[in-house]
Amino acid sequence: MPDDEQVHLAAEGFRMLADSTRIKILWALLQGESSVACLAELVGAAPTAVSQHLAKLRLAGLVRGRREGTFVHYSAADTHVRALLSEALFHAEHTDQNLPESGGDSSQPHAHAPAPTAAG
């Protein structure tokens, strides 16, 4: 059984992913670093809204910021974010298309889960 702190942090991470704009922001950041203005254009949201989402994602440890002068360039925090988002989208695809589970060890991420790409 995971300890209470692990459970709390996992729940907080899932809570942060419970927003379609945040999922789009994370997807974009998995392609590489980006600024607030670029992310706003990519996800179709106002820069102020994207800034607020980024602040929450940063507090949850899902994104990082790198300051360069007056600009901040954001990126996904680590490879766990890629795996988490890929698995969530893989699950959503299977649920949406009523596809069967792939089989095997369900505790391991799916090796064939679609990796986030710029084309996706």
* Spatial contact of 47 and 36, defined as CB atoms under 8 Å apart: yes
The pLDDT tens digits of the residues spanning 57-106 come to 999 999 999 999 999 999 999 999 999 998 988 888 888 776 666 544 44
End-to-end CA gap in the chain: 36
- pTM across the whole model: 0.77
The pLDDT tens digits of the residues spanning 29-53 come to 999 999 999 999 999 999 999 999 9
Distance of CA 85 to the CA centre of its chain: 5
- Alpha carbon dihedral 69, 23, 46, 12, in 10-degree steps, equals -80
Fold of the domain spanning 4-79: Arc Repressor Mutant, subunit A (1.10.10)
* Spatial contact of 16 and 57, defined as CB atoms under 8 Å apart: yes
